[in-house]
Amino acid sequence: MATIAELKCALKETLESRGVLGQLKARIRAEVFNALDDQSEPRPPLSHENLLINELIREYLEFNKYRYTASVLTAESGQPEIPLDREFLANELNVSEDVSSRSVPLLYGLISHFVNSTGENKGKLFIKSTASLPSRETNRPPDAES
């Protein structure tokens, strides 16, 4: 007869092999976050850039079936519950797609573009600072007063 410890071990291995244990842990984390999240505390305003970035990340998470992580991102960031339209997102990012690229998240296409670039500036993009981008600490433009 198996001991309790052996049964626990067998159950854990079975859940891990089926991929269920990770999903359960992620769901528990999401539920704990939702229980602890103070809905009365207002979220900082969501900048246009953060809205687009969050949507790229959400599309990636949902594509890879990281649904609980995506739900926490949506709740914590103040991202609208309804995802942005893919065509709108592509237009905002000035991305042209073909039929095959529409089957994967836009983030994959963006990464692929830079990884597979050729020429003198292989994979390089010149990025300049803009006042419209939020600062890390506050999600406000850098020139906004505290």
Mean pLDDT of the chain: 80
Q: In terms of C-beta distances under 8 Å and separation of at least 24 residues, what long-range contacts does 65-72 make, across chains too?
A: 66/26, 68/23, 68/26, 68/27, 68/29, 68/30, 69/26, 69/30, 71/30, 72/29, 72/30, 72/33
Indicate whether 33 pLDDT > 70.
yes
Could you report the per-residue pLDDT of 95-141, keeping only the tens digit for each? 988 888 889 999 998 888 888 877 665 656 666 666 455 555 554 44
The domain total for the chain is 1
Report the length, in residues, of the chain. Answer: 146
In a domain, 29, yes or no: no
- Asked, for residue 28, whether it belongs to a domain, the answer is no
Would you say residue 90 lies in a domain?
Answer: yes
Question: 105 lies in which domain range?
Answer: 37-115
Does the residue 15 lie in any domain?
A: no
DSSP state of 140: S
Whether the CB-CB separation of 54 and 92 falls below 8 Å is answered with no
Instruction: Quote the tokens at residue 138.
Output: 């506050």
Amino acid 145: pLDDT: 44
Q: What is the pLDDT of residue 146?
A: 40
In a domain, 136, yes or no: no
Q: What's the pLDDT tens digit per position in 44-103?
A: 788 999 999 999 999 999 999 998 889 889 888 889 989 999 999 999 999 988 888 889
Query: Does 99 map to a domain?
Result: yes
Whether 145 is covered by a domain: the verdict is: no
Instruction: Look up the CATH number of the domain holding residue 72.
Output: 1.20.960.40
What does the block give as tokens for 66? Answer: 């990281």
- Determine, yes or no, domain membership for 146: no
